[in-house]
Amino acid sequence: MTTILARLPVIIGDKLEVPFFGVGRQYFVVEGTIPQGAVVINPNTLVKVQKSDISGERALRVSYEDIGGLDTELQKVREIIEFPTKYPELFKKLGIEAPNGVLLVGLSGVGKTLIARAIASEVKAHFIHVNGPEIMHKFYEESEAKLRHIFDEANANTPSIIFIDEIDAIAPKRTESIGNVEKRVVAQLLVLMDGLVDPALIRSGRFDYIVRFDAPEEEERLEIFRIHTKDTGIAISELKILARMSEGFVGSDIESVCRRAQLVAMQKYFFSGNRDAQVGEGPRIDMDDFKKALEEVKERINAGHRVGA
């Protein structure tokens, strides 16, 4: 795990999503560090994993306060999912049925998963994050079995939200050339949804709504920067400059900028020749750190290495 997280700056309360080959994503919350304060994980860092009485997915709680620059999209998803779930009797009186599925469309990293997690936290739902490509399996009925297992888990932990990332990997358009595996998986998904992309999925009772996510505008980027820098002490005037310089960035890009700026500041602090670096106030992040981080993330985006979220 330390190799995967190498050079990642963390503080208590950080929520980490770690990919494991053959297993999928695992989720962790940083509960403590030695020394205290902001630290950088390296390949020799000892990581102690504590077993929780709830799954990693449910432990990774997100609140609406963690979401920035997505007010319109959040409101739409709340109206579609949260309100019918929290007030079923009211919707029943009005003769309105809660949708089985909502299709979230937008750039990778724009915040679709974040909103889904926040809604799940608000309605106290069991959250199941599924990576679409990981479902696909070459052996007969293996993919369908995985889907059935996911829906069985959801039925056993109602209310549940199943979030299928990159659903086009398992349900491509039927007008495109697809193999027998994809056809079987689409058929199984339709059956499970009826009891919960291909156009056959987008009909009443399956995916009733589509919510589109656009890249954030400057004011929305400023809000995202505010959320991720609330403990850094950086001035709002400097955040406005960063928001202006980060045109085309999505939420995960801005989060990467803030994490990278933290790492840049700590590198200066620990390698400044101060042998007592772990004592005292600790590193302070300045505008130069953020500008350097922003340029590095911009280079990564231009190289096609945007991180999804």
At 184-208, the pLDDT tens digits run 777 777 667 655 455 555 555 566 7
Do the Cβ atoms of 114 and 309 come closer than 8 Å? yes
Do the Cβ atoms of 117 and 154 come closer than 8 Å? no
Torsion of CA 178, 212, 259, 286, to 10 degrees: 150
8 shares a domain with 107: no
50 shares a domain with 86: no
Q: pLDDT of 126-155, one tens digit each?
A: 888 888 777 777 665 788 888 888 889 988
45 shares a domain with 80: no
47 shares a domain with 81: no
133 shares a domain with 163: yes
Q: What's the pLDDT at 267?
A: 79
* CATH code of the domain containing 184: 3.40.50.300
237 shares a domain with 107: no
* CATH code of the domain containing 278: 1.10.8.60
258 shares a domain with 164: no
Q: pLDDT of 106-134, one tens digit each?
A: 888 899 989 999 999 888 888 888 887 77
Q: What is the 3-state secondary structure (H, E, C) of 195-244?
A: CCCCHHHCCCCCEEEEEEECCCCHHHHHHHHHHHCCCCCCCHHHHHHHHH
Strands 39-40 and 9-10, how do they pair? antiparallel
pTM over 0.75: no
Phi, psi of 69 (to 5 degrees): 75, 15
Q: What's the pLDDT at 185?
A: 74
Last residue of a domain, one of 213, 231, 247: 213
Q: How many domains does the chain have?
A: 3
- The chain-wide mean pLDDT, for the chain, equals 78
**Chain centre to alpha carbon of residue 34:** 27
**Chain centre to alpha carbon of residue 263:** 21
pLDDT beyond 80 at 54: no
220 shares a domain with 195: no
Of 72-81, 193-202, 249-258, 286-295, least confident by mean pLDDT is 193-202
160 shares a domain with 298: no
pLDDT beyond 90 at 291: yes
pLDDT beyond 80 at 213: yes
**Chain centre to alpha carbon of residue 17:** 8
CA distance 4 to 2: 5
Of 204-208, 252-256, 276-280, least confident by mean pLDDT is 276-280
Q: What's the pLDDT at 8?
A: 73
44 shares a domain with 122: no
**Confidence band of 102 (pLDDT split at 50, 70, 90):** confident
Q: What's the pLDDT at 1?
A: 54
Is the CA virtual torsion 283, 285, 290, 292 positive or negative?
negative
Residue 144, C-beta contacts closer than 8 angstroms, at least 6 positions apart: 184, 185, 188
Q: Which two tokens stand for residue 297?
A: 């993330």
153 shares a domain with 271: no
**Confidence band of 224 (pLDDT split at 50, 70, 90):** very high
**Confidence band of 257 (pLDDT split at 50, 70, 90):** very high
Highest mean predicted confidence (pLDDT) among 3-17, 88-102, 208-222:
208-222
Residue 201, C-beta contacts closer than 8 angstroms, at least 6 positions apart: 101, 103, 171, 186, 189, 190, 193, 207
Last residue of a domain, one of 178, 213, 248: 213
- 291-294 contacts: CB < 8 A, separation 24 or more? 291/242, 291/245, 292/260, 292/261, 292/264, 293/256, 293/257, 293/258, 293/259, 293/260, 293/261, 293/263, 293/264, 294/242, 294/245, 294/246, 294/257, 294/261
197 shares a domain with 109: yes
Give me the domain span that covers residue 25: 1-56
Do the Cβ atoms of 232 and 124 come closer than 8 Å? no
